[in-house]
Structure 1
Amino acid sequence: MTRYRLDIAYDGSGFHGWAAQTGLRTVQGELETWLARVLRLAEPPVLVCAGRTDAGVHARGQVAHVDLDLPDPDQVAATLTRRLRRALPEDVVVRRVTVAPDGFDARFAAIWRRYAYRLADGPLDPLQRHTTTAVRAAVEVAALNAAGETLIGLHDFAAFCRAREGATTIRQLQQLRAARLDDGRIEVGVRADAFCHSMVRSLVGALVEVGTGRRDAGWLAGLLGAGSRSAEVPVMPAHGLVLEEVGYPPDDRLAARAVEARARREEEQLR
């Protein structure tokens, strides 16, 4: 078997998220179907992605891998890159397919994921309405950033996550910074080793509460000790969120990183 890396972008508007679901259109389902058609496989292969996105969430830098038992891997990668570009519907693009280096795992070898959430607190360009969320009150970016600094580091983000059985809510938040763009919109960049379900949209929802003056920074900091999902935290709409990039270690560290991450996940599930 040869492992291939796929770099993918998609408009999430027409998908029920990444993960395959019976009877629903998903990114994984669409890609697996077309991989089987292009390669004339009897059964669709299984794709593993770096981060499962929810329904309506977009991606510019999603990464996935697939294992295939086919001759001439370099030719397979070139053929997939060329033919998928022509075959796939217009709301999903496979930018490139490459033979993955030894030890590569799209999910477990990743060391960080970076998302961006875009807001408009003024008139919203109609052409941006599918990728930007409008908020009614003015957002003070400086206040938002000051509050966000309290969240940086290793914390239990249970207050910002939808609970999943056997899944930890402890995450290493590496970066959280907002900036006002030239067109007046606000972009909130968030990077962490991994994210739990609805975490980014909840973090942004809480930060908007502070940035608009409805809550203070002390309220936000106090949420870190909540231990469970907080009903006080609004979850922002999915369409403003984009998975921008996934980071991996050097090739000679890929296998070790994947082993470490998989072992940690198994340990968490046993707790």
Structure 2
Amino acid sequence: MRFAAGIEYLGTRYAGWQAQRHATGVQAEVEAGLSSVADQPIEVVCAGRTDAGVHGLGQVVHFDSPVQRPPHSWMLGANTRMPDDVAIRWVQAVDDAFHARYSAVGRRYRYVIHNARSRSALWVNRAAWWTYPLDASAMHRAGQTLLGEHDFSSFRAAECQSRTPWRRVESLSVRRSGAFVVIDIQANAFVHHMVRNIAGTLLEIGQGKRTEHSMAAVLAARDRSAAGITGPAGGLYFVQALYPPPYHFPAADGESALFGSACSEPGSNSAD
């Protein structure tokens, strides 16, 4: 049978999603947990690989197993054998045509910025700390330039292995929640470091180092050196993989704990 599963994880102590030869990846922990339930090796395929230090609220994987287990047994059994910073939140049986990566029609990420003069002990490695005041409204307006299908070479890491830099951004919002600025972005797919490089450019716009109108020139340059810094990994969360019918999976219930839903009013600079 083929199963889909929703995975939640704090990426701080991992070398990324993918299993590494000399470092632990989240994938290895998930496979070890599921393999213990099956009593034989289980391999998983994810919707979107995340980098070292990046977190997952709603990562989706699929796996095949000849062993018959109820969905809740996969979830409960694997969770007892995985570390506390990785958890399976749900498991569903799916048809053989489902593929966690290739069946997905979109992905959502959230980037969280702690905008305060002093650093936070509670948010270290869970939000990017930016000490200079940020204009969330200017960041939101600048981000609208990226909507649609474009060549995102300016926001693409040099080591990106994708065959094309073209991606379609369907929504991008920036809003303030007290001392935090939250960037939500949805696209059909992302090139390597795309969200972190967009976040870094928006940070410079929010600080006033760049104008909000400069985003168009950055995009048109198709040159990574034209964009801003790469935002710290700890601020980035994989929120959701989107699938067409008949696949309907639970939304990540941890999203609301990170400053509400993506549908919240964007661009506000007022504190809650």
Q: In the alignment, residue 102 of structure 2 is paired with which amino acid?
A: F
1:205 partner amino acid:
G
- AA in 2 matched with 1:240: G
Which whole-Å CA distance do the structure 2 matches of 1:36 and 1:219 have between them? Answer: 50
Is 1:176 matched up with 2:172? yes
Partner Cα distance (2:95, 2:132) in 1: 48
> Offset at 1:218?
3.2
1:41-89 per-position Cα deviation (integer Å, ceiling 9, x unaligned):
1xx322110110000000110000011122x3xx342321111121111
Within the candidate set 120, 128, 146, 2:123 is matched to: 128
What amino acid sits opposite 1:97 in the alignment?
A: V
Q: Secondary structure at the match of 1:32?
A: helix
**Cα deviation code 1:8-45 (max 9, x no counterpart):** 0000001000011112110111111222222111xx32
Counterpart position of 1:257: none
Superimposed CA distance per residue, residues 124-179 of structure 1 (whole angstroms, 9 cap, x where no aligned partner): 44212221111121100111011111111100101101143452111000111111
Distance 1:165 1:113, change over 3 A: closer
Alignment partner, residue 89 of structure 2: 95
Report how many residues are paired. 246
Using the size of structure 1 for normalisation, the TM-score is: 0.86
| Partner residue, 1:148 | 143
CA distance in 2, matches of 1:228, 1:221: 12
Check 1:128–1:252 CA distance in 2 against 1; reply closer, same or farther (3 A cut): closer
| RMSD, aligned CA | 1.7
Paired with 1:153 and 1:166, the residues of 2 have a C-alpha distance of 19
Structure 2 vs 1, CA of residues 252 and 40 (structure 1 numbering), >3 Å: closer, same or farther? Answer: closer
Q: Which segments of 5 or more consecutive residues in structure 2 lack a partner in the other structure?
A: 249-272
Question: Which amino acid in the other structure matches residue 110 of structure 1?
Answer: A
User: CA 1:166/1:205 → structure 2, altered by over 3 Å: closer, same or farther?
Assistant: closer
Corresponding residue number in structure 2 for 1:261: none
Match of 1:138 among 133, 153, 159: 133
CA distance in 1, matches of 2:221, 2:182: 27
| Residue equivalent to 1:194 | 189
Partners in 2 of 1:176 and 1:166 — Cα distance? 22
Higher helix share: 1
User: Could you say what secondary structure the match of 2:5 adopts?
Assistant: strand
CA distance in 1, matches of 2:88, 2:247: 26
**What displacement does 1:120 show?**
1.7
Q: TM-score, normalised by structure 2?
A: 0.85
Which of 185, 194, 200 does residue 180 from structure 2 map onto?
185
CA contact (8 A) 2:38 2:65 kept: no
Match of 1:225, SS state, is helix
Residue correspondence of structure 1 range 1-271 to structure 2 within 5 A:
2-41=1-40, 44-70=41-67, 72=68, 75-122=69-116, 123-163=118-158, 164-165=160-161, 167-181=163-177, 183-230=178-225, 232-251=227-246
Q: Which runs of 4+ in 1 moved over 6 A?
A: none
Structure 1 residues 252 and 121 mapped into 2: Cα distance closer, same or farther (>3 Å)? closer
C-alpha contact 2:218 2:226 (8 A) present in aligned 1: no
Per the alignment, in what secondary structure is the counterpart of residue 199 of structure 2?
helix
Distance 1:112 1:180 in 2: 25
Cα distance in 2 between the residues matched to 1:55 and 1:25: 10
Give the secondary structure class of the aligned counterpart of 1:201. Answer: helix
Q: Once the two structures are superposed, what CA deviation does each residue of 1:183-225 show, in whole Å capped at 9, x if it has no partner?
A: 3211111111111100000001001111110011332211222
The 8 Å contact of residues 102 and 251 in structure 1, kept in 2 or not, is answered as: no
